[in-house]
Structure 1
Amino acid sequence: MTTDELRTAILEELAAIAPESAGASIGDDEDLREVLDLDSMDIYNLVVALSTRLGVEISDADVGKLTTLRGGIDHLQTVLADRHG
């Protein structure tokens, strides 16, 4: 997937979890928890939603990598590349 496709996936899943995030201006390096006032359960739900949507496994140890858009995109690109060998 392209960077833009992954960004869209993350933002769409965020909007489903936190509807107030829809249309919000979020910088690539901003902490999603702070900008959108997400709690740990919201982040967990984001991880589950992205795992399901993209057909990948995101380990508990890697959850912290999805707290910014850039971190999420970078990590998901790595996971997807590993999956395709």
Structure 2
Amino acid sequence: MTRDEIKLEVLDILSDIAPDEDLSQLKDEQSFREQMELDSMDFLDIVMELRKRHRIQIPEDDYVNLASMDSTVTYLEPLMKDIQRV
């Protein structure tokens, strides 16, 4: 997947987890939690959805890398480089 495809995938997951949020104004460099009403369970749902959809294992110590769109895409890019977006 390309960076743009990964971003679209993350947005798709976020829209499933927080359907009432307006994701069109999401700032890539700002923390998801600062911009959205996500609690720790929602955040864990993001990790679980990535595992379910793409079999990506994210160690708990690496959760900090999923704070914003920029950091999430940067973290996921090497893990998802060989995955085709459906």
TM range (shorter): 0.7 to 0.9
Give yes or no for contact 1:9–1:50 (8 Å, CA) kept in 2: no
Per the normalisation by structure 1, the TM-score is 0.86
Q: Which runs of 5+ in 1 are unaligned?
A: none
Distance 1:15 1:22, change over 3 A: farther
Measured on the aligned residues, the alpha-carbon RMSD in Å equals: 1.9
Give yes or no for contact 1:17–1:46 (8 Å, CA) kept in 2: yes
Task: Name the structure where helix makes up a greater proportion of residues.
Answer: 1
1:31-79 Cα deviation digits (max 9, x unpaired): 1012011111110001110122122111111111111001110111132
Which contiguous aligned blocks of 4+ residues in structure 1 show a shift greater than 6 angstroms?
none
Partner of 1:52: 52
Fraction of identical pairs, as percent: 30
AA aligned opposite 2:10: I
Flag the structure with more relative contact order, 1 or 2, with Cα contacts below 8 A and sequence separation at least 6: 2
Provide the secondary structure at the position in 2 that maps to 1:76.
helix
Q: How many residues align?
A: 83
Partner of 1:74: 74
Residue 80 of structure 1 deviates from its aligned partner by 3.1
Per the normalisation by structure 2, the TM-score is 0.85
